[in-house]
């Protein structure tokens, strides 16, 4: 980290007499005292626990300074930066650090696929530039400034994931990061409970342009009419992607469970991504557009996509000890995303039967029952032999599927019956079968995945 104690004080308008301490280099920044290493700046945040109470632990770990906004007396032996709000101080410091280090900033949001797109984009740009990306799901008002302050000092391209569940959250993140490129993967139904409609979600995702630089680039799906009126007043360059009419259009050449190959308009290059599904091709198109924007050659783009590393729990193929193939996609879910996964899964070749395990999609609001029931259009007994449903909201889909699936093919479990669900899966799954698990993260289906791997 190329940052000193005095710089941090000035960037955050610290109000105490910090100049009584000699200036010194900071080695990093942490808000979790357990992660502190020698020479770090400690940021005590106020949440379920007040981070100020962990100051001694941070000092024992090697913290060399700390922000402070508590009414409790700060330790005399530690250089302290008194601020009104420790979170705002970290955000202000991130703004300062971006201006100092001047990386090109790429921002990615969307109802689904933003993490995969971030991973793909980083892999493409890393072929030519020093890159850094959001780690895990650090994509909110804490995680985004934390990511900025953790980027290596040689970073040329910084890829930031931006998440939200309410209006105005991405607006804040975009104004903080001031991206040079902004991308929206798709508009689904995630968080519709808070935003009212898909139109409300589209408006919230478009907040990513709030801080987009005047000469910047916005990338949007070509098949999303809700975004069209929201882009009309923009002066930045806009490029679309998709499988139909789009600035960057893909034609799928081969789709297998382990990979998907495609070509784009105007090119004979065959691109291959190590993940299934046409929805992932859309994510790859964003990475291709960004690579082209920075004059990365097609050969390098091709190489980056072929070897990109997917963040854990995102469309992950696994295999049990007995040979059962498991498609784990249990980090988040909304109807659009679930339907895309099911459509893709239904066509994947297998020597056994296909089984779908579907858990509740959360935060869908008053129309949750009808949205869950609508998934039945993407389930066919001829393609997916058995369906296992889990959670209160999935009962609506269960009722709908009763007319399509026989009783022995359809299973329903309440949220408190996870153990029974796992036992049923172990009884119906055989070697060479293929199973997909899809649900919101709050349903905890990752535990079921872990149990299946032990079969």
Annotated binding-site residues for ATP read: 110-116
Please name the residue ranges forming H helices in 298-355: 298-306, 335-346
Residue 410 CB neighbours (<10 A) = 18
Calculate helix-pair angle for 335-346, 278-293, nearest 10 degrees: 110
Residues whose CB falls within 8 Å of the CB of residue 339, separated by 6 or more in sequence, listed in order:
375, 377, 378
Which of 369, 323, 315 lies closest to 342, judged by CA? 315
Residue 119 CB neighbours (<10 A) = 23
Q: Using an 8 Å Cβ cutoff, are 401 and 410 in contact?
A: yes
Q: What gap in Å lies between CA 123 and CA 303, rounded to an integer?
A: 9
Tokens 């308008």 correspond to: 13
Q: Residues, the chain, total?
A: 455
Binding residues: 110-116
State the sign of the Cα–Cα–Cα–Cα dihedral 67, 73, 74, 76.
Answer: positive
Q: What gap in Å lies between CA 13 and CA 9, rounded to an integer?
A: 6
Residues whose CB falls within 8 Å of the CB of residue 314, separated by 6 or more in sequence, listed in order:
115, 116, 119, 329, 331
């Amino acid at each position: 980290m190329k940052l000193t104690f005095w710089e941090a004080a000035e960037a955050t308008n610290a109000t105490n007499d910090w100049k009584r301490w000699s200036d010194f280099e900071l080695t990093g920044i942490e808000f979790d005292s357990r992660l502190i290493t020698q020479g770090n700046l400690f940021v005590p945040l106020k949440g379920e626990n007040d981070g100020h109470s962990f100051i001694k632990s941070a000092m024992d770990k090697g913290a060399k300074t700390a922000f402070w906004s508590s009414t409790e007396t700060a330790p005399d032996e530690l250089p302290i930066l008194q601020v009104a709000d420790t979170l705002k101080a970290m955000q202000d410091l991130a703004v300062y650090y971006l201006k100092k280090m001047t990386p090109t900033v790429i921002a990615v949001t969307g109802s689904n696929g933003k993490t995969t797109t971030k991973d793909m984009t980083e892999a493409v740009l890393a072929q030519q530039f020093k890159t850094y990306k959001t780690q895990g799901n650090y994509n909110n008002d804490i995680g985004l400034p934390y990511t900025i302050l953790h980027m290596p000092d040689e970073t040329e391209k910084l890829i930031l994931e931006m998440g939200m569940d309410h209006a105005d959250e991405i607006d804040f993140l975009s104004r903080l990061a001031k991206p040079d490129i902004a991308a929206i993967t798709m508009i689904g139904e995630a968080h519709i409970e808070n935003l009212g409609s898909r139109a409300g979600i589209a408006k919230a995702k478009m907040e990513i342009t709030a801080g987009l630089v005047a000469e910047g680039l916005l990338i949007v799906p070509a098949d999303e009419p809700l975004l069209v009126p929201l882009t009309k007043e923009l002066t930045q360059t806009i490029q679309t992607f998709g499988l139909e009419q789009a600035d960057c259009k893909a034609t799928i050449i081969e789709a297998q469970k382990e990979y998907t190959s495609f070509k784009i308009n105007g090119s004979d290059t065959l691109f291959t991504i190590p993940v299934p599904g046409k929805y992932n091709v859309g994510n790859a198109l964003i990475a291709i557009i960004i690579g082209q924007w920075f004059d990365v050659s097609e050969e390098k783009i091709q190489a980056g996509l072929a070897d990109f590393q997917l963040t854990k729990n995102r469309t992950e193929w696994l295999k049990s000890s007995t040979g059962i193939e498991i498609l784990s996609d249990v980090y988040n879910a909304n109807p659009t995303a679930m339907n895309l996964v099911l459509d893709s899964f239904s066509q994947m070749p297998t020597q056994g039967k296909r089984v779908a395990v579907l858990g509740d999609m959360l935060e869908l609001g008053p129309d949750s029952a009808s949205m869950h029931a609508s998934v039945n259009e993407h389930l066919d007994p001829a393609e997916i032999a058995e369906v296992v449903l889990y959670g209160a909201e999935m009962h609506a889909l269960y009722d709908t599927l009763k007319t399509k699936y026989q009783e022995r093919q359809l299973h329903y479990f309440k949220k408190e019956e996870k153990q029974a669900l796992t036992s049923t899966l172990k009884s119906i799954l055989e070697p060479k079968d293929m199973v997909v698990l899809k649900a919101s993260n709050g349903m905890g289906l990752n535990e079921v995945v872990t149990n299946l791997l032990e079969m």
